[in-house]
Amino acid sequence: MNIKSPTFNNGKSIPSQYTCDGEDINPELVFSDVPTGAKSLALIVDDPDSPTGIWTHWLLWNIPPSIKEIAEGKVPRGAVQGETTFGASRYGGPCPGKGNHRYFFKLYALDTMLNIPAGTVKDKFIEIMKGHIIAEAEMYGWYERKKQDN
């Protein structure tokens, strides 16, 4: 299984329009080689470089396995969003306080649909997802904010 974005290459800089310095919308993501046994897909976008611990930027589950892409600024029909570290159930783009941070886009193929409500937090989401993952893929980009004038 693979995940990529036509807007930035794996390991490269995320364009500012997908961050708090721009439009703060999700980039386009493209999926391929999803296992035939998948009943749903799930996505976690997080920043392991946050000084306060791993910062969750997007949680999305019950994505139909037939979906081949998530369009820029969109949520696939039927998908459910969880609560991010920002305290919202939506995409929250990169917004590091200082320094260069990595942002991982992790795609999971699951053998089931997840029966959990919108707004579920990451720890609970991961606990329920365990034992149902049949394939994984990831990519990452990095982002560093331009210096702000005070």
Position 147 pLDDT exceeds 80: no
Is residue 41 in some structural domain? yes
* Rounded Cα–Cα distance for residues 10 and 101 (Å): 14
What's the number of domains the chain is made of?
A: 1
Q: What is the DSSP track for 18-33?
A: GSTTTT--PPPEEEE-
CATH of the domain at 31: 3.90.280.10
Is residue 95 in some structural domain? yes
Residue 42: Cβ within 10 Å count? 25
Is residue 99 in some structural domain? yes
Of 121, 144, 116, 117, nearest in space to 56 by CA:
121
Is residue 148 in some structural domain? no
Element at 130 (helix H, strand E): none
Is residue 149 in some structural domain? no
Cross-strand bridge partners of residue 61:
80
Is residue 105 in some structural domain? yes
Position 134 pLDDT exceeds 80: yes
Q: What is the DSSP track for 54-90?
A: PEEEEEEEEE-TT--EE-TT---TT-EE-B-TTSSSS
Average pLDDT of 104-125? 97
Which domain covers residue 83, as residue numbers?
2-143
| For the chain, percent of residues with pLDDT exceeding 90 | 95
Position 150 pLDDT exceeds 50: no
* Rounded Cα–Cα distance for residues 142 and 60 (Å): 21
Is residue 134 in some structural domain? yes
Is residue 150 in some structural domain? no
Of 79, 75, 128, 133, nearest in space to 108 by CA:
133
User: What are the pLDDT digits (tens) for 62-88?
Assistant: 999 999 999 999 999 999 999 999 999
* Rounded Cα–Cα distance for residues 7 and 69 (Å): 13
The answer to whether 31 and 69 are in contact (CB under 8 A) is yes
Mean pLDDT, all residues of the chain: 95
**For residue 46, what are its two tokens?**
């997080």
